[in-house]
Amino acid sequence: MPELPEVETIARGLDPALRGRRIRSVDVLDAISAPQGAKPFAKRLTGRRVLAVRRRAKLLLLDLESDLVLAVHLRMTGGVTADLDTDEVRRFARIRFNLDDGGVFVFTDIRRFGSCQAFTPAELASWPFYASLGPEPLDMSPELFVERLGAGSRAVKAALLDQTTLAGVGNIYADESLFRAGIRPQDKTSALSAPRLRRLHKELQQVLTQAIRENGSSIRDYRDAGGNAGAFQNHFNVYGRAGEPCRVCGATLRGAKVGGRSTTYCPKCQPPSPPPSAV
């Protein structure tokens, strides 16, 4: 599933490619990808010029003229490419946005869980999914991070994945940041001191920044706006490596479930935290 670094990478690739170009027409090839209705969706977008492309959490947002926002929810296997004609794009194209200069950008989705919707800024702000999103992890101060993650008593990985607590982090970057911070995913947030949470904040920001620099992570389906794979998967310390040796200490990495999600951690590099009464 594309997470913050992948969506940010797509947005950065699309912005210079699409800025200033006008949507001449919209072909909805799969109605499930346009939940507002194929015809109303296409009509609302036709004739609008693209002003900018940006990201919020795991959403791709295209700002259009006359106060309209195209919100693309990539979900598990969604993607957006610009002026790219490949067998894969043709096979999995769900919506084609035809541009005034003869070019095209395409929403693709292998498993058909993603969607595209058109909103005014007010409609976007009142969309329950959008309204519930927490702050961006790359913009959070250490103090705010400690305040939001330290509240309550739940598994720290579950807190990282809660999009209302902070937005954009998924399984990959939660596992990798917890490993670098030396924190076990199952540890309760109430057992973590403020200094340990501040370290987690620092490691999470560094992991996300590095992943963006590496074009995201390509495990199966993800490609950027130009069809290129990411490279951060080459730097995974724990994600998807249960049963393999830790690259730092050599201990066998363990798999577990936290909040219903698969998790991998090192029993030696990520020792369990003491209970809250002992902290």
Provide the residue type at 276 as one letter. Answer: P
pLDDT by residue for the chain (279 residues), tens only, comes to: 789 999 999 999 999 999 999 999 999 999 999 999 999 999 999 999 999 999 999 999 999 999 999 999 999 899 999 998 889 899 999 999 999 999 999 999 999 999 999 999 999 999 999 999 999 999 999 999 999 998 888 999 999 999 999 999 999 999 999 999 999 999 999 999 999 999 999 999 999 999 998 877 766 666 766 777 666 788 899 999 999 999 999 999 999 999 889 999 999 999 998 766 544
Residue 143's alpha-carbon distances to 149, 162, 224, in angstroms, are 10, 18, 33
Q: Which residues are catalytic?
A: 2-3, 58, 261
Rounded to two decimals, the pTM is: 0.92
Residue 76, φ and ψ in degrees, nearest 5: -85, -45
Which residue pairs from 49-54 have beta carbons closer than 8 angstroms and sit at least 24 positions apart in sequence?
49/20, 49/21, 49/22, 49/23, 50/18, 50/19, 50/20, 50/21, 50/22, 50/23, 51/19, 52/15, 52/19, 53/11, 53/14, 53/15, 53/18, 53/19, 54/11, 54/15
